[in-house]
Amino acid sequence: MKIIMLGAPGAGKGTQAKKIAEKYQIPHISTGDIFRANIKNGTELGKKAKTYMDQGLLVPDELVCDLVVDRLQQEDCKKGYILDGFPRTIPQAESLDAALCEIGASIDYAIDVEVPDENIVSRMGGRRACVGCGATYHLVYAPTKAEGICDSCGAELILRDDDKPETVQKRLDVYHEQTQPLIDFYSQKGVLKEVDGTMDMEDVFTAIIGILGA
């Protein structure tokens, strides 16, 4: 099963992708997580990506596409995968299509998690990320057991630089301009499925299972 998660930043793609990956036993591939790991490790890619991420801009396609295509060739992707945060532009979607076409494959589902911009601003303001393992929480909707401490690894939680209000609006503008056109792109391919992302996390997940099958 090859799945793409679509939706605005903060719509809940990562939250749902983790649950889907666990249920269907497929790898969860998040380009945002890959970039953040590179930044943490001080790699050249991380240094380049950070300059764009901090401004709420997309990392250029040429730094993203090869990275994902290489990742999809790894052994664990043979039985499928869930892509979270990729593709984010039409050229990225075309490059993914070309790579899949070469092996006679295609995307099975593009799940669009729909959340209006007004809700996004409060979601992102309350999101907290673990500096150790990258796990994501929310001050109100997904709190940790002990305040400010990751449930999984015990490290400190932070507000991501790109979740600060001034950057969130820029990311939303970038989403509408560059990523939203993918909804039509995948609709035309007949694989688009829309889910109401304003529901509780568990209800969103139930709706997604309804689409993918139990």
DSSP state at residue 176 = I
DSSP state at residue 179 = I
- Binding of ligand ADP at residue 56 (CB under 6 A)? no
Residue by residue, DSSP assigns 18-57 as HHHHHHHT--EEEHHHHHHHHHHTT-HHHHHHHHHHTTTP
- Binding of ligand ADP at residue 9 (CB under 6 A)? yes
The number of residues that bind ligand ADP (CB under 6 A) is: 21
Give the x/- contact pattern for ligand AMP in 149-178, rule: CB under 6 A: -------------x--------x-------
Cis peptide before 87 (omega within 30 of 0): yes
Return the number of the residue (17 or 67) whose C-beta is nearest ligand ADP: 17
Task: Count CB-CB contacts under 10 A for residue 197.
Answer: 26
Across the beta sheet with 127-130, what order do the strands follow? 136-138, 127-130, 157-158
The residues annotated with a catalytic role in the active site are 13, 88, 127, 160, 171
Return the number of the residue (17 or 26) whose C-beta is nearest ligand AMP: 17
DSSP state at residue 12 = S
According to CB under 6 A, which one of 10, 56, 87, 134 is a site residue for ligand ADP? Answer: 10
Give the x/- contact pattern for ligand AMP in 57-96, rule: CB under 6 A: xxx----x--------------------xx-x---x----
Positions touching ligand AMP (CB under 6 A) are 9, 31-32, 35, 52-53, 57-59, 64, 85-86, 88, 92, 162, 171
